[in-house]
């Protein structure tokens, strides 16, 4: 685990800067490296120091925080700090790790940074993957952008996923969910033990497979082809689960 996460603050409100500085000072695994009034002021130091974590305000003169995020390379872990809740969907699209609504308490702040700090631990990440793979409780879910909302989807409900040009159609027992996400990104979100890519256009939930015959998977009334590209890895995974 990293000993400390180095941090930057970018916020044009002095009071907001002071509060964040005070909160960071209370947390043993955070180290504040810089405070800036605007993204433009921070560009040079960001490139030089490459901090682990960035506390970023949204509404600032010259360049707002949401427009600044795509310009970051490499991109640190980002926590947005803002008084406005209407930007949550955009923040989700930009893969922001947390969204703190001002005024936020130290307790809320600490919960957020502790989770992010633990995610940096290889041991924690390994344990998290094992828990995701082995546990079947109802709290296992992912969040996906569906139209103008973010929808919670229980992983245990997913039967299979179908590629639809730029979208994916997630088939569950209850509904079909269209989301603008790539297979590669979805594979990062789903536990590898429980899901398998079997075709350029299909991913299946392994425990929902009824049977396999002639390189075709039966899930309910749906027949899903297994392509040559994915067949070897898929059957090897099944053998390992047996």
For 11-30, what is the HEC assignment? CCCHHHHHHHHHHHHCCCCE
Q: Do residues 87 and 66 touch, judged by C-beta distance below 8 A?
A: yes
Collapsing DSSP to helix, strand or coil, 197 comes out as: strand
Q: Is the pLDDT of residue 240 over 80?
A: no
Range 226-237 average pLDDT? 91
pLDDT at 242: 58
Tokens of 45: 């130091």
Tokens of 171: 């088939």
52 φ, ψ to 5°? -75, -35
Strands 222-225 and 216-219: antiparallel
Higher pLDDT, 5 or 126: 5
Q: Which of 34-43, 54-63, 144-153 has the lowest mean pLDDT?
A: 144-153
Residues 6+ apart with CB under 8 A from 215: 225, 226, 231
CATH architecture of 135-241: Beta Barrel (2.40)
The residue behind tokens 């960071």 is 24
Q: Do residues 219 and 159 touch, judged by C-beta distance below 8 A?
A: yes
Tokens of 180: 């603008």
Q: Which CATH class is domain 5-120?
A: alpha beta
Q: Which of 9-13, 123-127, 178-182, 225-229 has the lowest mean pLDDT?
A: 123-127
Q: Is the pLDDT of residue 1 over 80?
A: no
Q: Is the pLDDT of residue 134 over 50?
A: no
**Domains of the chain, residue spans:** 5-120, 135-241
Q: Could you please report the per-residue DSSP string of 131-188?
A: HHHH---TT-EEEEEETTEEEEEEGGGEEEEEEETTEEEEEESS-EEEE---HHHHHH
Q: What is the mean pLDDT of the chain?
A: 87
Higher pLDDT, 229 or 140: 229
Q: Is the pLDDT of residue 204 over 80?
A: yes
Distance CA 202, CA 229 (A): 12
pLDDT at 2: 62
Residue 115: pLDDT band with limits 50, 70, 90: confident
Q: Is the pLDDT of residue 196 over 70?
A: yes
Q: Is the pLDDT of residue 94 over 60?
A: yes
Q: What is the pLDDT of residues 166-181, one digit of tens each?
A: 899 999 988 999 998 8
Provide the percentage of residues in the chain whose pLDDT is more than 70: 91
Q: Is the pLDDT of residue 221 over 70?
A: yes
pLDDT at 56: 96
Distance CA 62, CA 236 (A): 54
């Amino acid at each position: 685990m990293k000993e400390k996460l180095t941090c930057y603050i970018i916020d044009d409100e002095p009071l907001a800067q002071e509060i964040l500085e005070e909160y960071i000072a209370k947390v043993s695994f955070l180290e504040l490296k810089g405070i800036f009034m605007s993204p433009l002021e921070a560009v040079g130091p960001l490139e030089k120091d490459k901090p682990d974590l960035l506390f970023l305000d949204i509404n600032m003169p010259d360049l707002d925080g949401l427009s600044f995020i795509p310009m970051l390379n490499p991109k640190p872990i980002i926590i947005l700090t803002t008084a406005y809740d209407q930007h949550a969907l955009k923040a989700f699209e930009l893969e922001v790790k947390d969204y703190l609504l001002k005024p936020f308490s130290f307790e809320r702040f600490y919960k957020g940074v502790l989770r992010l700090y633990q995610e940096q631990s290889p041991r924690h990440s390994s344990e998290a993957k094992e828990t995701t793979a082995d546990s079947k409780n109802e709290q296992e879910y992912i969040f996906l952008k569906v139209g103008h909302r973010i929808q919670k989807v229980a992983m245990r409900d997913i039967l299979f996923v179908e590629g639809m040009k730029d979208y994916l159609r997630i088939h569950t027992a209850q509904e079909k969910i269209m989301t603008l996400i790539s297979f590669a990104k979805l594979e990062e979100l789903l536990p590898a033990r429980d899901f398998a890519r079997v075709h350029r256009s299909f991913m299946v939930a392994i425990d929902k497979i009824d049977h396999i015959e002639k390189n075709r998977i039966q899930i309910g009334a749906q027949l899903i082809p297994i392509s040559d590209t994915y067949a070897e890895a898929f059957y090897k995974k099944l053998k390992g689960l047996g």
